[in-house]
């Protein structure tokens, strides 16, 4: 029997009504671009029920009102933390890192430091993968990864950089010994080494708003976040990312995120890799 369980109801909160779903959907869309399609009611109910209970609200309507009325913005941040999908892993979509190593790094041969942006970095696995790949590919050079996400919770995990053994499965053993230290003995979790951690800085950036980095980057990774946005939001986000790319710079998006239906000014390089056109036919290396 496939019976639908409403977890909020289970914990004494009235089930999420269609009107409440619509209010939360609109708030999430307005504030961070999340496109919650119809059919996501159960997901919203499951992800927000803890906040509803913790705030001692009797209904999702009360909870919604509480978020809107909270002038500190803390409730909204907690809602974003709860609704955002943080799934990620080390060396996810590995051909991107191979392309970076074999095609992009040689083009950056005269740069020192090399500074890139990892947007929507979630809990950090992508940031540390970039750190390892670039350290291996350009030994001795200064590398800096500007990492960002909208979720403070994800950013805290990324900065702490502690991962259970199971999450490190995809990392080659040689890199495990070079770039990780056991977090506890016997090792059930590992922490990224201080040297690798020193390559990254973290900040909260909502891609739907303007990002205000003072510089442009030769490489931006922004993967597996645009799938949660509708086309007008994707277009706006890609325009913001493009503005922060140097002419000739590369944008990596997730493989499920073709920009085919979005109007943009970038050149297609290969699946999920785009490049800002060069101004004078030459990259400022
Ligand atoms: C599925 S994770 C992707 C992580 C990583 N980039 C990867 O490909 O493995 C999506 C991340 O996007 C973040 N996110 C969602 N909406 C965002 C927004 N408007 N601005 C910035 N980050 C956002 C979420 O907090 C989450 O950490």
For residue 203, how far is its CA from the centre of ligand 1 (angstroms)? 13
By most ligand atoms within 8 Å of CB, the mutation choice from 29, 43, 84, 228 for ligand 1 is 84
CATH class of 7-83: mainly alpha
Q: Are 66 and 51 in contact (CB under 8 A)?
A: no
Q: Is 95-275 the same fold as 7-83?
A: no
Backbone φ and ψ of 208, nearest 5° = -80, -20
Contact yes or no for 14/52 (Cβ under 8 A): no
Residues with CB under 6 A from ligand 1: 32-33, 84-88, 92, 120-122, 126, 149-151, 154, 205-208, 223-225, 228, 254
pLDDT values of the chain reduced to their tens digit, one per residue, 285 residues? 455 555 555 557 788 999 999 999 999 999 999 999 999 999 999 999 999 989 989 899 999 999 999 999 999 999 999 999 999 999 999 999 999 999 999 999 999 999 999 999 999 999 999 999 999 999 999 999 999 999 999 999 999 999 999 999 999 999 999 999 998 777 799 999 999 999 999 999 999 998 888 999 999 999 999 999 999 999 999 999 999 999 999 999 999 998 988 999 999 999 999 999 987 555 555
**Annotated domain spans of the chain:** 7-83, 95-275
Long-range contacts of 15-22 (CB under 8 A, 24+ apart): 15/45, 16/41, 16/44, 16/45, 16/60, 17/60, 17/61, 19/61, 20/59, 20/60, 20/61, 20/64, 21/60
SS3 label, residue 194? helix
Residues forming beta bridges with residue 148, ordered by sequence position: 203
Q: What is the pTM of this model?
A: 0.93
37 half-sphere exposure, CB direction, 13 A CA radius: 5
Cis check: omega of the bond before 186, within 30 degrees of 0: yes
Q: Whose Cα sits closest to atom 19 in ligand 1?
A: 32
User: CA–CA separation, 3 vs 75, rounded Å?
Assistant: 32
User: How many beta carbons lie within 10 A of that of residue 61, not counting itself?
Assistant: 16
The protein residue whose alpha carbon is closest to atom 13 in ligand 1 is 120
With vertex at residue 181, the alpha carbon angle to CA 172 and CA 145, rounded to the nearest 5 degrees, is 75
Residue nearest to atom 17 of ligand 1 (CA): 150
Task: Tell me the CA–centroid distance for residue 1 and ligand 1, in Å.
Answer: 35
Structural fold of domain 95-275: Rossmann fold (3.40.50)
């Amino acid at each position: 029997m496939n019976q639908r369980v409403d977890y909020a109801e289970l914990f004494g909160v009235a089930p999420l009504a269609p009107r409440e779903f619509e209010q939360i959907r609109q708030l999430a869309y307005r504030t961070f671009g999340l496109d919650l399609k119809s059919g996501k009611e159960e997901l919203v109910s499951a992800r927000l029920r803890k906040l509803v209970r913790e705030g001692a609200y009797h209904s999702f309507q009360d909870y919604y009102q509480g978020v809107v009325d909270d002038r500190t913005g803390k409730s909204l941040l907690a809602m974003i933390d709860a609704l955002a999908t943080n799934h990620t892993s080390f060396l996810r979509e590995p051909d991107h890192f191979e392309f970076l190593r074999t095609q992009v790094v040689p083009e950056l041969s005269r740069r020192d430091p090399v500074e890139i942006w990892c947007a929507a970095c979630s809990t950090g696995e992508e940031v540390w993968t970039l750190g390892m790949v670039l350290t291996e590919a350009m030994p001795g050079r200064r590398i800096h990864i500007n990492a960002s996400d909208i979720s403070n919770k994800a950013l805290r995990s990324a900065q702490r950089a502690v991962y259970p053994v199971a999450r490190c499965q995809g990392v080659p053993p040689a890199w495990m010994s070079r770039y990780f230290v056991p977090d506890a003995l016997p090792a059930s979790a590992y922490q990224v080494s201080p040297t690798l951690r020193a390559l990254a800085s973290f900040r909260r950036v909502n891609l739907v708003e303007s990002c205000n980095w003072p510089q442009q980057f030769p490489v931006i990774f922004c993967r597996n976040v645009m799938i949660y946005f509708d086309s007008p939001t994707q277009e706006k986000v890609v325009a913001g990312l493009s503005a922060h790319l140097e002419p000739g710079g590369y944008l990596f998006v997730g493989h499920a995120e073709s920009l085919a239906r979005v109007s943009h000014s970038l050149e297609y390089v290969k699946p999920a890799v785009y490049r800002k056109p060069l101004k004078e036919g030459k990259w400022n290396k």
